[in-house]
């Protein structure tokens, strides 16, 4: 529950090794926050970030919980453990996801299925668990880091694009379902984000940074928006891309 100054008491980051997710936490944490939960597969992967938060905000309780997007059956239990330990979850940031291999490799069945399960099924499972808990609380905010890759899937990585498209669509429907419950769900659609995960890729037009995504996400959460694009210009770019004739889209996608 937020305190008397409107400051959330517990913030949870799922996929806590994500550069973008960590940037969002840096942007929304402030003096007065009581707990930050870092949910991640490997505790060692967030040790440096945990130390950073402890050093900057010594009064905040930083907890690490084991979380695997593919262990669907564990998600309800994880949420329950967090609530038992620190109380209501006021803000949840969902930042996990995988790109998959190179274009030719990403169509191999084992790789493709894992990308789809992490990005789509894992997101559906966790969003469902979080929404159920927050409806029980009658309050809470969720930020889901989606991608413009799902707006019109490109030939370079159809598995990643389609998995993001599915998860984004689910998030939209869930957001509508939560109206009037006291719970809100913000869908964040960044363009190409220059990070460790994309360091091997050629930056696309309108590329952005983890910090820029974090600033936009913080503003979106504060304003109660449903969907934001980062940078904002991409909203208008994709309103055109979405309706381009297929031959033109294929030509553009080949260059991206």
Which neighbouring-strand residues pair with 64? 38
Which residue from 182, 166, 179, 168 is spatially nearest to 227, judged by alpha carbons? 168
CATH topology of domain 10-255: Rossmann fold (3.40.50)
Pairing label, strands 35-40, 10-14: parallel
Beta bridge mates, 210: none
pLDDT tens-digit series, residues 220-245: 999 999 999 999 888 888 888 777 78
Contact (CB, 8 A) for 64 and 92? no
| Strand ranges for 88-215 from DSSP E | 91-94, 140-145, 183-190
Mean local confidence (pLDDT), 82-108: 84
Phi, psi of 228 (to 5 degrees): -130, 155
Stronger pLDDT, 189 or 5, i.e. the higher one: 189
CA-closest candidate to residue 66, choices 45, 35, 97: 45
pLDDT at 201: 62
pLDDT digits (tens, 9 = 90+) for 207-223: 789 999 999 999 999 99
Per-residue pLDDT tens over the stretch 153-210? 888 788 999 999 999 999 999 999 999 999 999 999 998 786 666 656 666 667 789 9
Specify the pLDDT at position 247: 77
Question: Would you call 144 a catalytic residue per the annotation?
Answer: no
Of the candidate ranges 104-108, 114-118, 225-229, the one whose mean pLDDT is the lowest: 104-108
């Amino acid at each position: 529950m937020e305190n008397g100054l409107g400051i959330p008491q517990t913030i949870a980051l799922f996929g806590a090794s994500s550069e973008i997710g960590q940037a969002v936490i840096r942007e929304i944490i402030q003096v007065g926050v009581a707990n930050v939960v870092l949910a991640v597969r490997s505790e060692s992967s967030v040790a440096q970030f945990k130390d950073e938060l402890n050093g900057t905000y010594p009064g905040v309780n930083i907890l690490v919980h084991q979380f695997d997007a593919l262990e669907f059956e564990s998600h309800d239990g994880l949420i329950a453990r967090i609530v038992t330990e620190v109380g209501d979850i006021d803000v949840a940031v969902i930042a996990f996801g995988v790109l998959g291999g190179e274009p030719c490799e990403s169509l191999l069945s084992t790789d493709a299925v894992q990308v789809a399960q992490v990005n789509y099924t894992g997101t559906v499972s966790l969003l469902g668990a979080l929404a159920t808990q927050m409806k029980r609380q009658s309050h809470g905010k969720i930020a889901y880091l989606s991608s413009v890759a799902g707006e019109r899937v490109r030939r370079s990585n159809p598995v990643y694009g389609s998995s993001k498209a599915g998860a984004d669509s689910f998030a939209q429907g869930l957001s509508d379902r939560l109206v009037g419950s006291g719970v809100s769900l913000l869908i964040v659609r960044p363009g190409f984000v220059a990070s460790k995960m994309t360091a091997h890729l050629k930056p696309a037009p309108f590329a952005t940074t983890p910090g820029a995504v974090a600033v936009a996400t913080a503003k979106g959460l504060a304003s109660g928006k449903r969907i934001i694009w980062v940078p904002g210009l991409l909203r208008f770019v994709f309103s055109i891309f979405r309706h381009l004739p297929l031959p033109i889209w294929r030509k553009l996608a080949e260059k991206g």
